[in-house]
Amino acid sequence: MKALVTASSLVLLLMGFSAVLSPSQVDAQQIPDLSSNGTGWNGGGDNEFTPPMSGPGPVQSDPAHPYISNFRAARTGEKANWRVADLTNPILKPWVVEALRKVNSVALDASKTLFTREARCWPTGVPAMLLNPGRLFFVQTPKEVRILQEADHRVRRIALNQPHSANPRPSWYGESVGHYENGDTLVVDTIGMNDLSFVDSYRTPHTAQIHVVERFKLVESGRALEVDFTVNDAGAFNTPWTASKRWRRIAGTLQEEVCAENNADYFNYDIEPMPTAAKPDF
């Protein structure tokens, strides 16, 4: 079931603010407009990060087993497969290599399935939330930005112009603070994540030390949004590494996409269960 949500009702329902100012009402010269006029951002169906032109970059597909998505297979006639990580990436600590080696063995086993955890309704953390091929929406207020992912109601909260708290309680999306730069960029600094998520679609693990800095920038005269980010986690990676992701501006409303209601195991796949809570989190 899908339900349309207008931009105005979205703000009232998710923000709970008595008054929300648009970027143009605050200072159009300093704040990039990521949210007005029914703007959403389409990820284009690609669950991969773009590596940097040079320097350390994200885990990518093993050259010996290139990833073929269902979309590509339908277009080209190739056989679809699961992702197999390139274990030679020099950013990886030995324990991360071994963790990925186990995942690769499942991916290469024709009798096994290996959906992304996101496909099974698990929170994705940062930066993996950027990988969803569906739509992102932004809600901008003078004190906070919220990034809304259409798939499964995922929400990130970014406090503006504030320092991090001294000891943030670990959570799936961590504690994010941000500020605007140059009239076209939102800078977001995230710490305080738990170690239960992965950083990418290959199931690359991380530790609770992970620190991610993202720069969301309007490009192509505002027709596209690009994020360049840096991941620093001395417990999992030998060096900080960078990557990017791009979305296209689209017009439309946020649709309700409930993951659990449409995710029954009809075909008896050997896959991890969907997340459940032992008690309410409020």
Q: Is the alpha carbon torsion for 246, 191, 119, 279 positive or negative? A: negative
**Domain for residue 277, yes or no?**
no
Residue 96's CB: how many other CB atoms inside 10 A?
24
Q: Domain for residue 171, yes or no? A: yes
Task: Flag whether 278 is in a domain.
Answer: no
- Whether 28 is covered by a domain: the verdict is yes
Whether the pLDDT of residue 175 is over 90: the answer is: yes
Residue 13 clears pLDDT 70, i.e. is over it: no
Say what the pLDDT of residue 259 is. Answer: 67
Summarize pLDDT for 49-78 with one digit per residue, the tens.
Answer: 999 999 999 999 999 999 998 888 888 999
Q: Does residue 132 or residue 271 have the better pLDDT?
A: 132
Q: How far apart are CA 255 and CA 239, in angstroms?
A: 39
136: tokens are 């992102």
In this prediction, residue 228 has a pLDDT band, given cuts at 50, 70 and 90, of: very high
92: exposed, middle or buried (Cβ count in 10 Å: 0-12, 13-18, 19+): buried
- pLDDT at residue 210, as a whole number: 98
Confidence of residue 262 (pLDDT cuts 50, 70, 90): low
Q: How many domains does the chain have?
A: 1
Quote the mean pLDDT of the chain.
84
Is the pLDDT at 12 greater than 80, yes or no?
A: no
Range of the domain at 198: 4-262
Its pTM stands at 0.83
Mean pLDDT over 208-224 rounds to: 96
Lowest mean pLDDT among 4-8, 180-184, 205-209: 4-8
Is 186 within the bounds of a domain?
A: yes
Asked if residue 162 is part of any domain, the answer here is yes
Q: What percent of the chain has pLDDT over 90?
A: 59
Q: Is residue 272 part of a domain?
A: no
Residue 274 is assigned to a structural domain of this protein: no
Which residues, at least 6 apart from 166, have a Cβ–Cβ distance to it below 8 Å? none
Cβ atoms 104, 87 nearer than 8 A: yes
Q: Residue 213 in contact with residue 227, Cβ under 8 Å? A: no
